[in-house]
Structure 1
């Protein structure tokens, strides 16, 4: 199983890298909507491993004020309408502030449930160039994409990230994927070096990938013209943790804990002196463990009646049976009650009637994954074969998969 997961992760990583050039940008990935079930919530873990060392990137390697490190990781799970960043497009004001100064106020204002966002989550900063951090988040079939950003510290406006990576492939959730990334330029600052002053880019440029030869300037801190390309400066490992399924509560038209004896059914049976050719009482039913069959009341025609009799499977306990199983069967043949027969009319079926939905309840958890519910009640149960009652309770996800005990330092 582990080898299959690893193989799938490698294949997906290779496909993603070849399509995006390690920039992890959505436009390079032409994929149809995921098709994963919207009522199933899947929890993932993202592990960011960084490889910014003096041995691999010796040029102008920052040793102090501040030393090489990474800001906290900002993540969003979302649908196709949301964009945290997009390669070859201009940075938003929120991303500009984050890439230049590490400020997250505008990005944090993007609330869960608005603008296509499903979960908003963070991971702690990495206090050195080489390190690791992780966080959990959740997705569903309507919000199967994940976007991630972490700022290069120090830098003018450089960051690493993943743009709108879809975790649902051909209707199935990805078990594991590895995404290698290069640094990116937010296009909002003119600086070439890690510690260059703040020189705004006017007009603002689109987000671009920083390579060994781009920007093509010797002052560029990541300029290594002797290399065909950089080794990856960071790697995102995304692993599926578990799946949840929303529950729906249904109530039958007649409460399932209501049970009737044969005497109760006899009281409902039509009088034997009316429609004598069709008169049948509840005593004419034989109750076994799981079937009800009409008893043969005529010894002369036992073989023909037993062969033509219809059986209906219902759960039964001794001679007590569920009302909504046996009575519905009983009333299919006898739909006229006494009032209806006196009037010469058959009463029409009555559908179940329910109240309006209540307001959504508060989230069951202040941190982590919780649920919100809303309910409605039955005003009138279905009668005479009418439509049964619909679901009386609905549940939806709320909260976040973030670790509530962590308090992250903002660069």
Structure 2
């Protein structure tokens, strides 16, 4: 275990280590990498399946030694592509036995902890090379891969949940040696054995030079301490992106009313629009009219008549005759939409009314509940809807964004809590469909 940690330290500092899968690779641990940094990695699969290295039952035809396409996922801790000592999923079983990936692709990008799904082309010979690029971030720093050995009963090579982030830093470069893995779904011992399903299904296990300990096994070399590496996976950091927002706003030439910030509450700034202002003024105006009407009926204040005279000019006469006399309350009619007039009217009403006397006020309303005398409206917090589902990725190739929104159901009023953010954004994208020169910076 100490040697494994030493190798990992070399990988962090020098970016040049080789980890053998003869023993489980060490857990990265430590603090996570920054979630707002998106990193591009390249994985290079090199295979060394030759007659010199593995002479026993080496397949020369129908079909000759080769490798299926490489299937990969970057993901978080919750996702598992395959795991030693457990039963293979239906997707892994199908892929290990036939090379088909349709079942594996049912759980794709953005589902179940998967961040990016990617593939690399198959290798048509036993010893060859293939590569692919993929994305990781601080919340999805692990990578899992599989490539099927062709021909074989249910054998493949792969890596399970390798963490590319160590102590808050992304590995620059690391190479991992791997051994064959048996999916535990077929009982065949040789590369070209006929289909012989394992009933009940067994567990996934690593194939060694001594296990399975059967003379017919194609990888059984009892005189060897361990099998030669049949393949290596090399991970190379290509590029890091920092999350940034770019806005292109132009100044509007139209002139608007200038609002002084010291006269505005935080809520006013957040929810300022013409409809809300008109609604507030209309609400205050209605309450004031009801208050004035109540005062005029309870205090029996004298009504002063104001005569409004209109004349009708007859084309055949020079006489002017009064048309009508209209009486209006002394308080007058407050113009609709005039907020200053409303406030002034409230002040003048309390100054001129006999109820402004404290003694008169106490006597008149003695014994009545205070809640009926002073109706105070409580603050109203902002209410928003639930989040919408995540939208599609903005790009089919390369780095994009996914967004989701929520709507304001009711704006805050009278000092209530302001509205929370209405938009969320996260990284998305995949390099699997990109052309070869897409990442040539």
Please confirm whether the aligned pair reaches a TM-score higher than 0.5, indicating the same fold.
yes
Match of 1:241 among 238, 242, 262: 238
Distance in 2, Cα, partners of 1:113 & 1:33? 25
Higher mean C-alpha displacement, 369-378 vs 382-391? 382-391
Higher mean C-alpha displacement, 34-43 vs 206-215? 34-43
Q: Which residue of 2 aligns with 1:367?
A: 397
Cα 1:183/1:388, change in 2 over 3 Å: same
Distance in 2, Cα, partners of 1:378 & 1:93? 44
Match of 2:427 among 388, 393, 397: 397
CA shift for structure 1 position 238: 0.5
Q: What SS does structure 2 have at the residue aligned with 1:177?
A: strand
Q: Which residue of 1 aligns with 2:97?
A: 100
Q: Residues 214-229 of structure 1: matches in 2 within 5 Å?
A: 214-229=211-226
Give CA-to-partner distance per residue, 1:28-57, whole Å, 9 cap, x none. Answer: x44547522222211111110001111111
Cα 1:184/1:178, change in 2 over 3 Å: same
CA shift for structure 1 position 201: 1.4
Match of 1:171 among 168, 173, 188: 168
Q: Quick check: 1:8 aligned with 2:5? A: no
Cα 1:259/1:22, change in 2 over 3 Å: farther
Q: Which residue of 2 aligns with 1:328?
A: none
Q: Which residue of 2 aligns with 1:65?
A: 62
CA shift for structure 1 position 166: 0.6
Larger gyration radius, structure 1 or structure 2: 2
Higher mean C-alpha displacement, 145-154 vs 212-221? 212-221
Distance in 1, Cα, partners of 2:14 & 2:197? 43
State whether residues 137 and 400 of structure 1, in contact with CA within 8 Å, keep that contact through their aligned partners in structure 2: yes
CA shift for structure 1 position 394: 3.7
Distance in 1, Cα, partners of 2:381 & 2:39? 35
Distance in 1, Cα, partners of 2:107 & 2:51? 36
State whether residues 28 and 165 of structure 2, in contact with CA within 8 Å, keep that contact through their aligned partners in structure 1: no
CA shift for structure 1 position 109: 0.5
Q: Which residue of 2 aligns with 1:155?
A: 152
State whether residues 149 and 155 of structure 2, in contact with CA within 8 Å, keep that contact through their aligned partners in structure 1: yes
Q: Which residue of 1 aligns with 2:182?
A: 185
Distance in 2, Cα, partners of 1:116 & 1:379? 32
Give CA-to-partner distance per residue, 1:177-227, whole Å, 9 cap, x none. Answer: 110001111111111110000111122221111111211122111122221
Q: Residues 105-124 of structure 1: matches in 2 within 5 Å?
A: 105-124=102-121
CA shift for structure 1 position 387: 8.9
Give CA-to-partner distance per residue, 1:324-353, whole Å, 9 cap, x none. Answer: xxxxxxxxxxxxxx969979xxxxxx9997
Give CA-to-partner distance per residue, 1:233-282, whole Å, 9 cap, x none. Answer: 000000111122333589xxxx9x99999xx98xx9xxxxxxxxxxxxxx
Give CA-to-partner distance per residue, 1:300-344, whole Å, 9 cap, x none. Answer: xxxxxxxxxxxxxxxxxxxxxxxxxxxxxxxxxxxxxx969979x
Give CA-to-partner distance per residue, 1:73-111, whole Å, 9 cap, x none. Answer: 000111111111111111111111111111211101112
Q: What SS does structure 1 have at the residue aligned with 2:15?
A: helix
Structure with a larger share of its residues in strand: 1
Q: Quick check: 1:196 aligned with 2:220? A: no
Q: What SS does structure 1 have at the residue aligned with 2:93?
A: helix
Distance in 2, Cα, partners of 1:114 & 1:359? 13
Q: What SS does structure 2 have at the residue aligned with 1:45?
A: strand
Cα 1:210/1:373, change in 2 over 3 Å: same
Structure 1 spans left out of the alignment, 5+ residues: 269-337, 344-349, 407-411
Cα 1:217/1:358, change in 2 over 3 Å: closer
- C-alpha RMSD of matched pairs (Å): 4.0
Give CA-to-partner distance per residue, 1:105-162, whole Å, 9 cap, x none. Answer: 1101112111111111111000000111111111111111100000000001100000
User: Aligned pairs, how many?
Assistant: 319
Cα 1:138/1:380, change in 2 over 3 Å: same
Q: Which residue of 1 aligns with 2:209?
A: 212
Q: Which residue of 2 aligns with 1:42?
A: 39
Distance in 1, Cα, partners of 2:246 & 2:404? 11
Q: What SS does structure 2 have at the residue aligned with 1:122?
A: strand
Structure 2 spans left out of the alignment, 5+ residues: 1-9, 264-341, 351-378, 437-441
Cα 1:135/1:81, change in 2 over 3 Å: same
Distance in 2, Cα, partners of 1:383 & 1:101? 64
Q: Which residue of 2 aligns with 1:320?
A: none
Asked which structure has the greater RCO (Cα within 8 Å, sep 6+), the reply is 1
